[in-house]
Amino acid sequence: MVSKRLTAYQYLLKDKLAGDKNRELIALLKDIKLAARQVSKELNSAGLNKILGDHGGLKNVHGEKVKKLDIIANDLFLNSLENGGNCAGVVSEEIEKSLIFNNEVSKNSKYIILIDPLDGSSNIDVNVPVGTIFSIFKRSSMKTSISTKGFLQKGNKQVAAGYIIYGSSTIYVLTVGKGVDAFTLDPVVQEFYLSHKNIKIPKKGRMYSVNQGNFYEFPRALQEYIRWCEQEDIKSGRPYSLRYVGSMVADIHRSLLKGGLFIYSKSKRAPNGKLRLMYECNPMAFIIEQAGGLAINGEKRILDIVPETIHQKSPIFIGSAEMVKLISKFIKSKQFN
Ligand code: AFP
């Protein structure tokens, strides 16, 4: 029997992005998919090909140790994006400055992209899921050439966002602003097929996800929320379960499918948290909101933050709508410093 499965490309073409005006965006999403397949392949055999571990003593713009696979993933995505010619420039977690493509095709493209090529890479050596996160915007003007400033758009202007989780299977989760769908990589055919249509995040969950090792560094309001999660209360199903992978993509993917709250707060040592607004918080916020959830930085919606720099950090509370609303109440009623 012939399979009726739809590839990501076919699904976008026929359904989510039907119409000629979307061809360039579909092609750009295809460039991302190509690199994701290559990264998936590299990760699957990394231990055999001696590409686990740190890349010498190299550190990234955030002062974090760079892994060999961070570099490989970054190169694969940048190659695919540049050669595909469907975006005018890129901001990557691995590169300090924005990269503007100079070839004739890319120059005339209307899209720009911000990407974390391999998030959670400190987990690679121990075989824990890692991911790619990306955010796509339209250029604010086609008349002038783009500059770093052109990337500094609010999250609510994103035209598409997605992540690829390299876990027990490789799954590509995508929104183009019309709900959220996911595609699973068939490792034999090496193609992504539609596997989760129109995902809705449960309104509430029983899992919270936070690096509790930072408890004494957290603002009072968050400490009280965590204590509340730990208390027994039959009516609300507490105590909640604590689940923290330490790989944002894995923690958010679980919350998206099962319900839950993911937290990376500000703390005494890290007044802006750790996660990056433009290629971690914004795309995840867009996806989760499109699935019916919420994402805030403690004070306001992530997607309404006006960015000042391409690598800026932001605290984030993201997940099931009722859980985000509740933590927001804790924050408003208690001290959040
Ligand atoms: P790495 O890419 O350095 O592994 O960091 C992963 C990450 O950016 C995000 O994926 C995790 O949620 C978060 O950091 C974990 O940070 P902590 O180790 O401070 O909890």
Least confident of 57-71, 85-99, 201-215, 264-278: 57-71
108 vs 111: CA distance, rounded Å: 9
Cα atoms in the Cβ-side hemisphere of radius 13 Å centred on 48: 5
Residue 335: the pLDDT is 66
- pLDDT, tens digit (0-9, with 9 covering 90-100), for 76-106: 999 999 999 999 999 999 899 999 998 888 9
Q: Please choose, from the candidates 219, 253, 194, the residue with its C-alpha nearest in 3D space to the C-alpha of residue 330.
A: 219
Ligand 1, atom 18, lies closest to the CA of 246
Does residue 98 line the site of ligand 1, with CB under 6 A? no
Q: Which is the closest atom of ligand 1 to the Cα of 211?
A: 20
* pLDDT, tens digit (0-9, with 9 covering 90-100), for 4-37: 899 999 999 999 999 989 999 999 999 999 999 9
Average pLDDT over the chain reads 93
Q: What is the pLDDT of residue 1?
A: 61
| 46 Cα distance to chain centroid | 22
The CB of 122 under 6 Å from ligand 1? The reply is: yes
| Structure token digits, residue 111 | 């899209």
Range 157-191 burial, b when 16+ CB lie within 10 A, else e? ebbbbbbbbbbeebbbbbbbeeebbbbbbbeeeeb
Contact 16, 176 (CB under 8 A): yes
Ligand 1 centroid vs 103 CA: distance in angstroms?
35
Cα 113 versus chain centre, distance: 13
322 lines ligand 1 (CB under 6 A): no
76 Cβ below 6 A of ligand 1 = no
- Residue-level pLDDT at 2: 61
What integer pLDDT is reported at residue 67 of this predicted model?
Answer: 77
Share above pLDDT 90 across residues of the chain, in percent, rounded to a whole number: 82
- State the pLDDT confidence band at 229, using cuts at 50, 70 and 90: very high
- The preferred substitution site among 244, 247, 317 for testing ligand 1, maximizing ligand atoms within 8 Å of CB, is 247
pLDDT bracket for residue 48 (50, 70, 90): confident
What is the atom index within ligand 1 of the atom nearest the CA of 65? 3
**How far is the C-alpha of 140 from the C-alpha of 187, rounded, in Å?**
38
The answer to whether the CB of 274 is under 6 A from ligand 1 is yes
Ligand 1 atom with the smallest distance to the CA of 64 is 3
C-alpha closest to that of 283 among 146, 167, 65, 119 = 119
Which tokens in the block code for residue 266? 């500000």
Atom of ligand 1 nearest to the CA of 276: 8
Q: Hey, what are 113's tokens?
A: 């992209």
With a 6 Å cutoff on the Cβ, whether 214 touches ligand 1 is no
CA of 153 to the centre of ligand 1 (A): 24
**Is 277 within 8 Å of 305 (Cβ atoms)?**
yes
Q: What is the pLDDT of residues 237-257, one digit of tens each?
A: 999 999 999 999 999 999 999
Residue 26 CA to ligand 1 center (angstroms) comes to 30
**Ligand 1 neighbourhood includes 120 CB (under 6 angstroms):** yes
Shortest CA distance to 55 belongs to which of 38, 41, 73? 73
Q: Whose CA is nearest to atom 5 of ligand 1?
A: 120
Q: What is the pLDDT of residues 305-316, one digit of tens each?
A: 999 999 999 999
For the chain, percent of residues with pLDDT exceeding 70: 96
Residue 51: its pLDDT value, please?
Answer: 64
CB-based contact 318:262 (threshold 8 Å): yes
pLDDT tens, position by position, 50-60 = 766 777 767 77
Give the ligand 1 atom nearest the CA of 262.
12
Q: In what order do the strands lie in the sheet with 180-186?
A: 99-100, 89-92, 111-119, 130-138, 160-166, 170-175, 180-186, 191-196
pLDDT of residue 203: 98
DSSP strands (E only) in the chain: 54-59, 65-67, 89-92, 99-100, 111-119, 130-138, 160-166, 170-175, 180-186, 191-196, 207-209, 241-242, 261-264, 294-296, 316-319
pLDDT of residue 248: 98
Using CA positions, which residue lies closest to atom 7 of ligand 1? 120
If one compares 3 and 10, the residue with the highest pLDDT of the two is: 10
Q: What is the pLDDT of residues 111-170, one digit of tens each?
A: 999 999 999 988 888 999 999 999 999 998 888 888 999 999 999 999 999 999 999 999
CB of 131 sitting under 6 A from ligand 1: no
- Can you give the pTM of this predicted structure? 0.95
Residue 47 has pLDDT above 80, yes or no: no
- Taking alpha carbons only, the member of 87, 130, 114, 253 closest to residue 180 is 253
